[in-house]
Amino acid sequence: MISKQQKPTQSGFHAKTNADEITKGIDLSGKLAIVTGGYSGIGLETTRALVHAGAQVIIPAKRIEIASKNLDGIVSEENIVEMDLGNLNSVKKFTDDFKESFSNLDLLINNAGIMACPETRIGNKWESQFAVNHIGHFLLTKELMNTMAENDGARFVSLSSSAHSLTGILWDDIHFHNNPYDKWMAYGQSKTASSLIAIEFHRRMIDKGVSGYSVHPGGIITPLQRHLENAEMVALGWMDEDGSPSEMAKNFFKTTSQGASTSLWCATSPSLENIGGVFCEDCDVAKRKNEIDESLQRYFGVADWAIDTDEASKLWDITEKMLIS
C-alpha cells in the first residue's frame, strides 16, 4: 500500500535551495540530534546547519581523526564518538553508551553510506553495501526508537538515492550469494532499503508522535564517489573527458549545501507536522514515478517499491532475523 500523503506539498522551496534557507527562523535550542556521516559531504553541511540553529549534535564516526579535523569549531570533541556501521558490536556499543548519557533524542539522521564499491563481505557474509547502508543503520535506529519515543515530535530521516529506481529488494538473493555481484544493483537495493526503513519506522512510531522520512538528496559530487574511476563518471554523463563537470552535472547536480537541504527540511519543517512515512526530494514530498515524464524517471520521483508499506514491513522483519542469525 502507498500512503496518500505521497504527493508534493508545494513547500515553497526547490532543488537549489541552500541549507541556511531551510533553517532560517528555526530554533533548535535544547534539541539533540545524531547525524551519521555528519563530518563529510552533505553530512557535514547538515551538521553545520543544525548546530547553527542551536541543536546539540552527536556524530558517530568511523574515522575519528578526520571527523575531529572537519568538525573543528562546529562540534565539540566529546560529541564525536567512535562507531563503525559495518561492525554491529560497534553500533551496539554506541547506542548503549548514548542511552546511558541521554534520556531522549529529537533527531536521528542516517546520512552515512558507501556507493558502488567492489564486492566485499562483512558480518554474516553480508554484501557490504546492504550491510553498511541498511543493516548497520537498522540496528542503530531500532536501538534508539524507545529513546525517540520519549520526545513527542521527534523525527527520523533516512537518506536514500535516485539509485533506488534501479531495483527493489532482491528478496531471493539479497546478498548476491547465488547471482553475479553487480555493484550498482547492490547500491540501488541498499538505497531502496534506506527508504523502506523510514516507511516502516513511521508506521511503528506515529502513535507516539514520532515521524519518519526518506530522502533523495540529489546529485552531488562528494567523497561518496571515491570508488568510481573518472572513465565511469564520464560514461554516466557526470563528467566530461577533461574531468570537468558535464552539462548535465552543471544543470542538475547540487552543491553540498543544496544537497543537505532536503534532509534538513524533513528534520525541521513545521509544515510536516502532520505528514510522514513519505519519500522526499528537492525540499518537498516527491511525486511517484508514474506521475512524471518518462525521460526523467531515472533520476526523479519515487518508485512504488521504495514506499510500499507491505515491502517495508517485510524488510523490517527479515532484517531483524538477520541480526540474530
Length of the chain equals 325
Question: Residue holding cell 547506542?
Answer: 95
DSSP label at residue 208: G
Question: Nearest to residue 215, comparing CAs of 179, 263, 260, 175?
Answer: 263
Helix, strand, or coil here: 116?
Answer: coil
* Other Cβ atoms closer than 10 A to 318: 12
Q: Which residues are annotated as catalytic?
A: 160, 187, 191
Q: Please name the residue ranges forming H helices in the chain.
A: 19-23, 41-52, 64-70, 88-101, 128-130, 137-149, 183-205, 230-235, 247-252, 256-268, 309-324
Rounded CA-CA distance 13/283 in Å is 6
Say if CB 45 and CB 259 are below 8 A apart: yes
Instruction: Please name the helix (run of DSSP H) or strand (run of DSSP E) that holds residue 255, with its range, or none.
Output: none
Cβ–Cβ < 8 Å for 287, 246 = no
